[in-house]
Copies of this chain bind each other. A is one copy, B any other.
Amino acid sequence: SSSPATITTTLFPGDGIGPEIAESVKQIFKASEVPIEWEEHYVGDQIDPRTQSFLTWESLESVRRNRVGLKGPMATPIGKGHRSLNLTLRKELNLYANVRPCYSLPGYKTRYDDVNLITIRENTEGEYSGLEHQVVRGVVESLKIITRHASLRVAEYAFHYAKAHGRERVSAIHKANIMQKTDGLFLKSCREVAEKYPEIVYEEVVIDNCCMMLVKNPALFDVLVMPNLYGDIISDLCAGLVGGLGLTPSCNIGEGGIALAEAVHGSAPDIAGKNLANPTALLLSSVTMLRHLELHEKADQIQNAILKTIAEGKYRTADLGGSASTTDFTKAICDHL
């Protein structure tokens, strides 16, 4: 068989435990013979004027060129005069949809064993506009911006995703009973897209009710699509149902098919460099990246090996109640490939 072409992929190992968990991904990809070559970029130690942040221009150019990347946790350095690294990436790369698959991990017990849903978050506008000001002393306001353009774009992505992945239902999450114009426009856009997908059930759920239903019976949901802040809240809530941000993958989709997969947990500086970190979130994120590249066989192989290793329970890191090191866990996954 002919060997497939190598795909160049940007890798941001990130800070804290980032380099260790990135190393885990690299080893597993190597063991699985994934045809990927990494182009590694670290966060700079000074502000790059072209990005107004500690992200270097070269690293952004790398993602733009490769159209695909994987990112570990990045701690935004404290201080004024620069933007959050995560928000800079979203903005500069126009990463308009944040996709988080969230499913119960076989053998890892939480209060829920029936979670299998996808949250799709609008990632560029809404409450994250950055437009705020003081009206008079003691009175401040923030602007939430909703556009038809961004709403249609993320709705289109959600329905496309649902169809491509054999999902049956898309729920648009909103508070249009209060924010009739902004969330109303979001819903209107979703409805317009829904009409093009008659095979997908479309429903609208008010965010407060959605959160109540999620904690009572998450099996009621399939694909959820929503404005920025609701997505921020609900994606973390859903991660909590299956064990937390250390176990759940995330992938950001940009215009022109850019995909930046990322672990959304913190950089855990307290355990950095100690070979204790759990690489699962970054590993499962790398699997979503492989699926984006249509490398489904490799994705299945690696995902199965991760899930099997966790299910067996012999090699679990401390956050999951085990005593395995990052490298023990990684080796166990490699053995399951």
Contact = CB atoms under 8 A, between A and B. Distances in A.
Contact of A212 (B127, B148, B245): B245
Q: Identify the interface centre among A133, A181, A233: most chain B CB within 10 Å of its CB.
A: A233
A205 B11 CA distance: 31
B179 A208 contact: no
Interface in A201-255: 207-209, 211-216, 229, 232-237, 239-241, 243-245
A180 B139 contact: no
B211 A236 contact: yes
Contacts of A145: 135, 139-141
A268 B149 CA distance: 37
Interface residues of A, number: 54
A144 B207 CA distance: 17
Contacts of A60: none
A127 B178 contact: yes
A304 interface: no
How many copies of this chain does the complex contain? 2
A57 interface: no
Contact of A233 (B137, B140, B144, B207): B207
A84 B127 CA distance: 24
A181 B236 contact: no
A147 B133 CA distance: 12
A102 to B, nearest CB: 11
Contact of A237 (B134, B211, B244): B211
A326 to B, nearest CB: 22
Contacts of A182: 132, 140-142
B233 A133 contact: no
A300 to B, nearest CB: 28
Interface of A: 84, 110-112, 127-128, 132-135, 137-149, 175, 177-182, 184-185, 207-209, 211-216, 229, 232-237, 239-241, 243-245
